[in-house]
Chain A
Amino acid sequence: KNEVEQSPQNLTAQEGEFITINCSYSVGISALHWLQQHPGGGIVSLFMLSSGKKKHGRLIATINIQEKHSSLHITASHPRDSAVYICAVRETSGSRLTFGEGTQLTVNP
């Protein structure tokens, strides 16, 4: 069983829909990261959080440390949001990141 599980694996939405991607993990962490990988392959960091909630534009990330769960929300989705979204955790005991397999999001016009 992976230490980091994402759901769903694939998600198709219509433009304008509200989207939620979930991430569950099984280890103690110091931080959780959400990353975006575009079709061209480049990976960018969206959020790093250790508690509560962060918002950037139409993106919102939340984390519940007690339940070992995080969600990434996209409001008013747009075709340019189509990408793979990756959750990663940094364990309390070290410096390394452990990654989920990613969620492929497709937003249709």
Chain B
Amino acid sequence: NAGVTQTPKFQVLKTGQSMTLQCAQDMNHEYMSWYRQDPGMGLRLIHYSVGAGITDQGEVPNGYNVSRSTTEDFPLRLLSAAPSQTSVYFCASSYSSGGSYNEQFFGPGTRLTVL
């Protein structure tokens, strides 16, 4: 199993550009999520999905869109990049059993800089 994969590892954008951060997992996990990590702050949830076709907003959703057309993929779209979106982005997945979610598996992260 490759686990959770993210591409790209690094990206530099200009203000106003759009792009998509890719996330895929091969563990058949129902739950997938996107976080951003900024210095001095804990990981913050952007969007999450509890299964294909279902997405919901997290703590900091503004400026980002997601979709979940398959169990494996959960791309994060930046609609019009802003310097405030400079951050490290992590995708994570977990499986559920008995109605409870289990340990989270994290991707390696994408370091995004918006100039």
Residues of A in contact with B (beta carbons under 8 Å apart)? 2, 4, 30-31, 33, 35, 41-45, 48, 86, 88, 90, 95-102
Contacts and interface: CB of A to CB of B under 8 A. Distances in A.
Given A33-B104, A45-B103, A90-B101, 19 more contacts: A2-B42, A4-B42, A30-B100, A31-B100, A35-B104, A35-B106, A41-B88, A42-B109, A43-B92, A43-B106, A45-B104, A45-B105, A48-B103, A86-B43, A88-B43, A96-B48, A97-B33, A98-B42, A99-B43
Chain B, interface residues (CB within 8 Å), range: 20 to 34
B58 to A, nearest CB: 7
Given A41-B88, A42-B109, A102 B42 contact: yes
B7 to A, nearest CB: 15
Given A41-B88, A95-B31, A33 B45 contact: no
Interface of B: 31, 33, 35, 40-45, 48, 50, 58, 88, 90, 92, 100-106, 108-109, 111
Contacts of A45: 103-106
A41 B39 CA distance: 12
A100 B45 contact: no
Contacts of B58: 96
A100 B41 CA distance: 8
Given A30-B100, A96-B48, A86 B108 contact: no
